[in-house]
Amino acid sequence: MSHLFLFPIRNLTSSASIAICAQCRRSFTSSSVLRSGHNRWSKIRHEKGAADAKKNIQRSTFAKHLTLYSKLYGPDPNLNSQLASVIAAAKKAGMPKASIDVAIARGQGKSSTGAGLESLTIEVMMPPSVAIVVDVETENKQRALQELRTLIKKHKGTITPTAFLFSRLGRTRLKGTGGDFDEVLMQALEAGAEDVEQDENGDVVLWTQSNTTHQTAQNLSKVISTEILNSEIIWTPTADKVKLDDDEATAAIGKFLSALQEYPDVQGVYANAERGTISEELWNAVEDNLDT
């Protein structure tokens, strides 16, 4: 004999019941929601975020080279082989034409609309006491300052003097010639460099005063017949750097620096931080977004 279960229906005025057999009743089962799809999406989202960050860093590098070669040798790629080479590489990597045009115009001190650019330096302190300096070039200083203030506040930063913890210097990297470095050293000092180094690739690194950087780079590149790989004015910490030991604070700094680098008018981001006990992955998220 089959058994019946009676379930009252509350919205009926009478005390009516519905009869459901035990065999049918047993077919109603419950189970936990599978989370494999959620985990898979989380992994995809993480990988996409990492790929997007890598793409942003690559485009930022292209933009800086486009600006540099436009500044040094002019905005016309037909008359500027270095600029033409970077344009080709940037297009191949998928950099939008509008972004390329903006970077080239910036090298001439103009926006893509032809308006003149103004320089702006923003000084920030981030927990735990990490000093940051941000260089900005914009056609609308008021708008840029307002938007960056909002961004800084969102990431728990504070606008406060920090530039006194840095020195502003020019740094140029020239392609190594394979010749006698001592001779290059003497020629660099005569050209106006204050210090000269040779990096692990054999390239020549010049340190100069910020107001003579590009001229010194051009002078030496002509003397030793080599190519300028990079030339920029940077902020270097003058005191001991702050060691990053806290994972949560470091992750927050990494996100803040990434957001700064994505802001179109930001030209350089510098910090007095160094790796402490945090993981290599967390440190890379910070270091990859610094112009050091």
Q: Which two tokens stand for residue 133?
A: 């300096």
Distances from the Cα of 37 to the Cα of 34, 40, 42, 56, 70, angstroms: 7, 5, 9, 28, 49
Q: In what order do the strands lie in the sheet with 166-174?
A: 195-198, 204-209, 166-174, 228-237
Residue ranges covered by each domain of the chain:
52-116, 118-292
Q: CATH assignment of 118-292?
A: 3.30.70.980
Supply the pLDDT for residue 43.
56
Evaluate if pTM is beyond 0.85. no
Structure tokens, 90: 């940037």
Give the integer Cα–Cα distance in Å for 120 and 100: 22
pLDDT of residue 98: 93
- Looking up tokens 């600029």, which residue turns up? 83
Q: Which CATH number is 52-116 given? A: 1.10.10.200
pLDDT tens-place values along the chain, 292 residues long? 444 444 444 444 444 444 445 454 444 444 444 455 556 665 555 565 666 667 777 888 899 899 989 998 899 999 999 999 999 999 999 999 999 999 999 999 998 888 899 999 999 999 999 999 999 999 999 999 999 999 999 999 999 999 999 999 999 999 998 888 999 999 999 999 999 999 999 999 999 999 999 899 999 999 999 999 999 999 999 989 999 999 999 999 999 999 999 998 999 999 999 999 999 999 999 999 999 7
Q: How far apart are CA 7 and CA 263, in angstroms?
A: 62
